[in-house]
Structure 1
Amino acid sequence: YWGPWMCGCQLSLYGNIALAPASSGSRNNDESLIAGNNLREVPSLDVQLGDWTSYRGDNARSDVTSVKIPSNVRLAWQATVTNELPTAPVTAGGMVFIADRSGAVSAFDGDGKRAWKSYTGGPIYYPPAVAHDRVYVGSADGRVYAFAARTGRFLWSYRVAPEDRLIPVYGNLISTWPVAGGVVVHEGSVYAAAGIAHYDGTHVVRLDALTGELLTANRDSGTLAPEVNGGVSMQGDLMITDGELRFLGGGVYEVARYDLSALRCLNSPKIQVTSQYRTAFYPYYPEYGRYQSLEHTRADGTTLCHDASYEGSVFTNLSLEAALPAGETRPRKEVSNWMQRRGKAPPQLWQDKQDRRCTSFIISDNQLLTAGHPDNAPDQSFLAAVNIDDGSDKWIEKLPALTVKGGLAIDARKRIYVAAENGQLLCYGPVESQGRSE
């Protein structure tokens, strides 16, 4: 028996966890690797420099683009993707890719027509990653899937979960070990992690991006401290930072850390039975975890800042903070709870006074693209371009629904894609002030 290990009464009161012995009956498991034909014969996608090929722009989830945000935009097209909650979009080679909680992966062409649609066996919480002319996605059925980006042809799937076992979670049947945090692709390898809570096991793998074959696995980090049955839980989206694979690790381990080659867990064991860190993992608590925090330091030392608490109850206004004097460092924030600062914050050069809550950002050299809604007005969703130098709005567009978390993307041709919680995908094209397309 474990009581709630997640801080936040409105979340913890959902229930406790009761465990019983696993059935001794035989299970019919699919093969770990299921491969299609002609794995290496895939049409070229023609990815352009500046395309948004991964969640929040890159494997570090930096929200940064080299593409200049347009000086004005118009709605080019909109499409209904799903009746379920969609993921954020990614875009490459003139196409845009998006998934949803029905388990579908969809691709649209530059005119907003659906190019293809393929399925996995469970809900998909984070968007595909595009690399090697392929689309990779993690599913809550416990598997990673690869499709040809141009055609949607199934290439392979690999079961990261140790076995095929489904449990009910908030209205869906998903694996006991869902691939809930998405995937990252790096130097020919696909990284994925499966699990929910540490006591059922956390499984991290590195797969060959072309064939799906297992290269390395770590299946032990769920029990880093056997004395207290403690370890890493899978409670965050995957990223690669400072040469390490990372994701939020639950209540005891703030961030789970693995080396990229052998997947050795770099966290030191903690002999403790108390929780220390907070999580409201977006796949399971989308109404709480939808808001995005931002801390981006520019070349001149100034820092764009927007803090949102882990469960969405409080936030700070978007601001630009002054550069720190030489030798000083910024106050540290809890990774999962950005409102928890230590020390004095730097002075602000400007602050947005409109009390806007943000769900997504894209940062260019001198402009910030953001989506969200005014506080206490969730029906007034917007997409805005903000001048970073003074905090003024360059332009603002009304949206039909709130943008999903991290739900903006931009391509090499300056087209902006918005994934909305109502299942729509919108494309905004660049327009000159005279009304002609840029």
Structure 2
Amino acid sequence: MTRNILKMALASTALVATTAYADDVTLTIESWRNDDLALWQEQIIPAFEAANPGIKVKFTPSAPAEYNAILNSKLEAGSAGDLITCRPFDASLALYDAGHLSDLSDMDAMGNFSDVAKSAWQTDDGSASFCVPMASVIHGFIYNKDAFAELGLEAPTTEAEFFAALEAFKADGNYIPMAMGTNDQWEAATMGYNNIGPNYWKGEEGRRALIAGEQKLTDEQWVAPYATLAKWADYLGDGYEAQTYPDSQNLFTLGRAAVYPAGSWEVSGFNNLADFEMGAFKPPVMNAGDTCYISDHTDIGIGMNAASPNAEAARTFLAWVGSTEFATIFANALPGFYPLSNAPVEIEDPLAKEFVSWRGECESTIRSTYQILSRGTPNLENDTWGASVAAIKGTETPEALGAKLQEGLASWYAPQQ
């Protein structure tokens, strides 16, 4: 099916090619996604080149852990590629502030993205956008449909239904109700606190109010998710304190757990490992009919090296990245990584499709700690990891955790002082 999508993209985009170059221009893309090399070489680049005669593209990734250092060295030496794959928030903002990334605010394609989508690659005041958003990941819960059917359960939509389902699995005894450990800490915050939390602090409304200093981490909407996480401990199975992230993945894909707090990045891997039917449900709301909020977290973008000698061709490529054709190819080649453009994209994978359908039902936000609030010491993101673990283990009260986080943030962040 993906081949058919590629053929359609080649056919449709070829019709709109308008720029021909007297001599071929070759654009080089810097990226950390070395596992995506075949996708770019076999699908994305052929589609673009068919639509844009005279522009050739090379995808030249580095190892993920080495990308930042290698890219910075190349930029300083003047040897970096024309196009720069952008990590979200501060790493890319630092490149823009250093003059390495061009302002793309005047590109028509930027109008294809929401403010939330663009927020990961903008200046703090939103006056400049320096990377075209490519994809996000969505948080929620993946569940074993076979296990739910055995107990006659439906996917929960409210918190009461959520805990009733977990209680039913605990009483039945054939499945661990929910697979998540606290050994690696980040899961408790990423798939715990920042998964369920947006329903409490109302997504962007609360996140922006926290940045502005209009809300505090001691407010009820920021403390209450820790109280909810504290209830999870009863359903995580024996020994969850020592359980690692790969342990949790294995427990779920081997069919030993009923529910998995998740990010959509798991879709491809779980499809290859699980031999049962999977479904996904969004973070439960407090009461039926409440507005729902999802963490639709900006993950990857692409910008232009300000020193590129091929600026016109580079902007042509970036405009295409903002198109429906690109979004369709990317979304179906990497299910679980979702295009950020406003254009509708037909996604084939049923589990990936379930996650992305929530965009039409809920308000999107991003992880609360990722923009601005984790620049200082102590680091709010890292502290949220520890707080989420402490909440689950019950070693500190939700109120004490909120007070400690607020004290840390206020110690360096002026709007919270």
TM-score in terms of structure 2 length: 0.27
Name the one with the larger strand percent. Answer: 1
Q: Which structure exhibits the higher relative contact order, with contacts defined as CA atoms closer than 8 Å and separated by 6 or more residues?
A: 2
TM-score in terms of structure 1 length: 0.26
Name the one with the larger helix percent. Answer: 2
